[in-house]
Structure 1
């Protein structure tokens, strides 16, 4: 069965932004290769201006976020939905719900509506209590107005089942294996093998960057600590100021060269992953695929992916202990190998695209094209 499928809820493809754009890029192209007609909605501000990309049709919709800030995201999602109502798609995949579910009554009535429910957005500490309250409401609306649901984490799947009594489909993110070409480039990069610790994240409190760097700052390690991420925001400036006197800590800014990032991950002595909110995190999977040894924040999201194949920390004291005691011997090599096996057989892009295709077809076949609304 070949379907007309639309993907909404992202800034667009190819990916210049982050998580949902990342997976939309892979899924849209993969579905086209499997014979489906796929349309992705792009912000008119997206750097890519063509009408198609690798067989994927692109619809450019007006996005006033650059003019009016966050409120513009709601206008952009509304514009995408109004356009989609004209196009008779068999299925619409909505990535996230933050600024789209408020328009739930306008979801195209003859399309099968599937929502990827994202992480527990209302838990993010960067949001004020008022915004967190709204995000809980938006989550409720997404459940109300969608017909089918995807969770990218088993933790999210369990939460949705317990909170709303809905059975969402678990489909995680994926990652590409460390290619031979990338492996050959490793030795030409600036990084020296196992000479430094590494962290890569958006500069936000919930990513435990302060905790990680404080633990390292208090340690006796002679190694460098490289931090990848844009430090231009308020929290980034706070972090760089707090640790400016530790010459071992190097703030490298954002690096968009994928090969360089993967070489840095592969070469690191230990890779720190501090994300504490959300589902399956793409940067964690990429570190696993790059064969990095990983220390992760101790929470259900990270543990559901890494299991026993990582070191875990909850505070700066535990970070310091890991920094001062971690070795690279047979047990650690086994952890790296086990994580690579997960990428090959669980978080493999081809398998994930197959799961998306099968689920979309199944949802379309089971849909009666009626919104089942419960007040």
Structure 2
């Protein structure tokens, strides 16, 4: 098959969870012999483009598309020009639009006889960064994504229920998959930030309001003051299109609160997760977080806000007799005091923290296989084009 992905900043993943999902899916499809086209943002130079292209086999094509690089128009304009391009590629059989905004243009490939999939990765209309007009547009795009593509997929049960209740439309649930690590990574990259093995709490997400980093910083400072812990807070992530919010976070930078920026490269990311003492996801809007799955796969004890999309990743994890509880921890959304209590517990109970992490890894290994995610996704593509 020849499959095209529209609606992300492209591969290699250098921004967020949707890009990570597309990157992993692209590599898996390529290994199976499919041809894959991924529409990407423009590189800074021809040399950078060649470097990125060289990371992928010959059956993966990165097509760099220009855009109007503003908060509201960047992804939308890139998606529009990407859609025009893919309509003219006669060999592309399946076009997947990632998230609802790009799917506004999904009618065009259908007019050209292509099979179309809408992959919804989060309820974008709930993100705090959007103004009322943008949120209204995204709600309209939700309607389009559920009506125009041949199939719509979601990565959480909460989203599946949301779209069924609001629009009366069924979607296909395909959870994200995790790569289960088999190696340990000694501190190397993290030393440049004065971080040590099991010496820091990790936040890894875009630095935008709905990701809740401000809540974590407040809670972390309270937990450290209460326990006297010497753990640090490592904040890794792209600053996105919220410069004022990002600037407000950076005023808290100190010897024990480190801003790492966006961490690129599989080895550096692996080292960052493998050496973390704990992981926190305090977000108010998610689909299924790849960062959370990764932390769990690395046996990192994890604390999440209690939105359904986050706590669902802990569902099915066994209640452990020694803990008398599930291994995952949650706190009330935007409640820094509650999060502080959870962090203080982890800071003062290192053996229990490590035990929780080990149980989470076993849970992810059993229930969130990368191979299963790719199998289920490709099966949808094959059914649409009539392959056995």
Query: For this structure pair, what is the TM-score category when the shorter chain's length is used for normalisation?
Result: 0.7 to 0.9
Which residue is 2:319 aligned to? Answer: none
Q: Is the 8 A contact 2:219 2:339 kept in 1?
A: yes
- Say whether residues 1:168 and 2:186 are aligned partners: no
| Alignment correspondent of 1:71 | 73
Shift of 1:257: 4.2
Match of 1:132 in 2: 135
Question: Partner of 2:339 in structure 1?
Answer: 319
* Distance of 2:190 and 2:75 partners within structure 1: 39
Distance of aligned partners of 1:203 and 1:39 in 2 relative to their CA distance in 1, 3 Å threshold: closer
Asked if the contact 2:3–2:93 (Cα under 8 Å) also holds between the matched residues in 1, the reply is yes
Q: Which residue of 1 aligns with 2:361?
A: 340
Change (3 A) 1:157 1:364: farther
Q: Is the 8 A contact 1:172 1:352 kept in 2?
A: yes
**Residues 291 and 205 (structure 1), Cα distance of their counterparts in 2 relative to 1, 3 Å cut:** same
**SS of the residue aligned with 1:271?**
strand
Q: CA deviation at 1:72?
A: 4.5
Give SS of 2:163's match.
helix
Look up the SS of the partner of 1:108 in the other structure. helix
Structure 1 residues 346, 73: closer, same or farther in 2, change over 3 A?
same
State the Cα distance separating 1:264 from its structure 2 match. Answer: 3.4
CA contact (8 A) 1:40 1:56 kept: no
Q: 1:210-359, aligned counterparts within 5 Å?
A: 210-219=214-223, 220=225, 221-223=228-230, 224-230=232-238, 233-241=243-251, 243-244=252-253, 247-307=255-315, 308-314=326-332, 315-326=335-346, 327-328=348-349, 331-359=352-380
What's the TM-score, normalizing by structure 1?
A: 0.85
Aligned to 2:321: none
- C-alpha distance in 1, partners of 2:14/2:239? 18
Work out whether 1:144 is the aligned partner of 2:147: yes
- What is the deviation of 1:287? 0.9
User: What is the CA–CA distance in structure 1 between the aligned matches of 2:8 and 2:239, rounded to whole Å?
Assistant: 24
Q: CA RMSD in A?
A: 2.7
Distance 1:179 1:185, change over 3 A: farther
Distance in 1 (CA, whole Å) between partners of 2:350 and 2:73 is 51
Instruction: Give CA-to-partner distance per residue, 1:69-108, whole Å, 9 cap, x none.
Output: 642433322222222222233222211121x333243233
Q: Distance in 2 between matches of 1:187 and 1:6?
A: 37
User: C-alpha separation between the residues in 1 aligned to 2:64 and 2:271?
Assistant: 37
Structure 1 residue runs of 5 or longer lacking an equivalent are 367-375
Name the count of aligned residue pairs.
358
Comparing 341-350 and 117-126, the one that deviates more: 341-350
**How far apart, CA to CA, are the structure 2 residues paired with 1:135 and 1:118?**
13
SS class of match (2:291): helix
User: CA separation in 2, counterparts of 1:261 and 1:33?
Assistant: 23
The partner residue of 1:159 within 158, 162, 171 is 162
| Counterpart-to-counterpart distance in 1, 2:55 and 2:197 | 41
Q: Secondary structure at the match of 1:339?
A: helix
CA separation in 2, counterparts of 1:179 and 1:65? 42
How far did residue 57 of structure 1 move?
3.7
Q: Distance in 2 between matches of 1:267 and 1:45?
A: 31
Secondary structure of the residue aligned to 1:321 is helix
Residues 344 and 364 from structure 1, CA distance in 2 versus in 1: closer, same or farther, beyond 3 angstroms? same
Q: Show the 5 A alignment for 1:184-195.
A: 184-186=185-187, 190=191, 191-195=195-199
